[in-house]
Amino acid sequence: MKILRVIASMKPSQGGPCQGIRNSIPELQTLDVYNEVVCLDSPEAGWLAEDNFRIHALGVGKGPWYYNSNLIPWLLTNLPRFDAVIVHGLWLYHVYAVRKAIRLLKKKQTGGKREPIPRVYLMPHGMLDPYFQKAKNRKIKAIRNKLYWSIIESDNIKEADGLLFTCEAELRLAREPFRSYKPKREINVGYGIAEPAQYDQVMEEAFHSKCPQVVKEPFLLFLSRIHEKKGVDILLKAYDRVLETRTRLTLVESGNGETPINYPNYAKFPKLVIAGPGLETPYGQLLQRMVSQSPVLRESVFFPGMLTGDAKWGAFYGCEAFVLPSHQENFGIAIVEALACSKPVLISNQVNIWREIEASGGGIVAEDTLEQTQQMLENWDSLSFSEKAEVGLKARRAYEEHFAVGPAAIKLLGALR
């Protein structure tokens, strides 16, 4: 079987969808499934050489729609080579371009020459979540989406052979935002990540070269795109509150009775590493100011930037727990990577896979509010060493039972056939 993946960008810093492609293709290759990717990136991009599957980079898309005049001609020439097409993401030009190319190929069939036409599946990756229409800071974008939906996107979905979802929660939520949502099929194909490499000291050294402040220090890890949606600001505020409670005046025994002194109890609480792209954005700059202006946070919170390769895995293996109080998270590849490394995850109930994690006992789940995030941190800290170790074992079992890449690849292949 031959599958074409169509996506706006395969740039590694884009996160979720492109990383999901990189996770699934090697596993599909073991099942004799051939994959190619076409994307709207520069053909000179250095990271293109890092993947072992064929990527056609047609040039960077223009404007907010990511328009690229090279895409439809390329699709018309190449679509007949494939049995199925998976279009990753929504709301951008590449989704419309696939629909238009399929329509043009079908028109050619009426003239006598009949080239094979692949089945087309859209994979929204959470982009139909009602959060994007309801969030207070997205009112203008929500109006734009509603207009775009009525003109273009609803037809893209109606004419596709099916929609592929990463989990049951995503599938159900996709039905809420738009009344004219009428896909031919809805298929929960799941999502998986490859087994991470076994721990090696090189990983630890690579991470510490990026974040030397936590050498021999316990730390919590946030590793994701630094964006308002991820709830990093409430994480910082909640973490600050936890540390503040540990700087209260403590009474200690002295020879002449009890004397109040300032005792920095926060020193016993794990440090916080906030890793990921986006530090240069206004939101990223705001977070860094929050830390720099707080004497307590300055000593406990660190921003090493985006971590890749050994440094990323060194962060996962080295952390005490992974934390992500996101306001909306379709799947959360980094969450599953943490589970695969036997690391407990502290997440919000706005992460679509929270039910599986809570049922497994592989982490702690809370609402995406300041108070609940603070409580989640305190609940984690209240566990004994052995209790934390037990949660780590359950985290690994959650990965094996729900998120391993092998079963996910088999499920995807079954849906496409």
Confidence of residue 113 (pLDDT cuts 50, 70, 90): low
* Structure tokens, 273: 């590493």
Interval 69-97 mean pLDDT: 97
- What mean pLDDT, rounded, does the chain reach? 92
CATH topology identical between 2-189 and 201-403: yes
In this predicted structure, the answer to whether residue 259 has a pLDDT above a threshold of 90 is: no
Which of 20-29, 45-54, 264-273, 343-352 has the least mean pLDDT? 264-273
d(CA 356, CA 371): 23
Lowest model confidence (mean pLDDT) among 30-34, 171-175, 186-190, 255-259: 255-259
The two tokens of residue 244 are 């503040």
pLDDT of residue 250: 39
How much is the pTM?
0.84
Torsion sign (Cα): 307, 309, 312, 314: negative
The DSSP secondary-structure symbol of 215 reads: T
User: Quick one: pLDDT at residue 267?
Assistant: 55
Which sequence spans correspond to the domains of the chain? Answer: 2-189, 201-403
Average pLDDT of 292-315?
95
Residue 242 has pLDDT above 50, yes or no: yes
List C-alpha distances in Å: 246 to 269, 342, 370: 9, 29, 18
Task: Return the pLDDT at 417.
Answer: 85
pLDDT over 60 (residue 262): no
Do 352 and 126 contact (CB within 8 A), yes or no?
yes
Does residue 328 have a pLDDT over 70? yes
Which of the listed CATH numbers 3.40.50.2000, 3.10.290.10, 3.40.50.261, 3.40.50.300 matches domain 2-189? 3.40.50.2000
Residue 13: what pLDDT? Answer: 79
- CATH number for the region 201-403 comes to 3.40.50.2000
User: 254 falls in which pLDDT band (50, 70, 90)?
Assistant: very low
